[in-house]
Amino acid sequence: MPLAIPTAGTAVTALTLAVPVTAGANHVVVEGAVTVSISFAAVLAAALNPTITVVLLQDGAPVATTSSSDLLAITLLGAFSLTRTIPISFFNGALTPGTHIYTVTVTVSGITLAVGGPTATITYSSLSAITAT
């Protein structure tokens, strides 16, 4: 189900995953991907620099960050959309036993999101983890 990003510059949680870790299997590989769609009605001339930032948090602390940025010069009238899929991954080889929480957040910046104006939506998100020795 699509998840709206209502405000530019504010992180939205795309998904969360609890990963149980034991002393015998305290290595973890976390992989995920997020697809974000930005749609707007173009004016006669506009310069936009939408940036999509994806952050992976481990127990509330950032452990990986990646982003996608596009410089757009639009000189047409009509609807326009931009879709980007951004992968993210992380490896930790020395986790303490217990359940660790991984969260993916998405922030869109470089444009102003508003009702009736540009909108941003997370249209797909996935997150998986593998533990090993």
pLDDT in tens, 19-72: 999 999 999 999 999 999 988 775 555 557 889 999 999 999 999 999 999 877
**Residue that wins the pLDDT comparison between 114 and 107:** 107
- What mean pLDDT is reported for the chain? 89
pLDDT of residue 77: 61
Location of structure tokens 């504010």:
10
State what percent of residues in the chain have pLDDT above 70. 88
The maximal CA–CA distance of the chain, rounded, in angstroms, is 61
pLDDT of residue 72: 72
State what percent of residues in the chain have pLDDT above 90. 70
Token duo for residue 90 = 């992380």
Q: pTM score > 0.85 for this model?
A: yes
**Average pLDDT over every residue of 114-131:** 89
pLDDT of residue 43: 57
- Give the number of other CB atoms < 10 A from CB of residue 91: 11
**What does the angle CA 33 – CA 68 – CA 88 come to, to the nearest 5 degrees?**
30
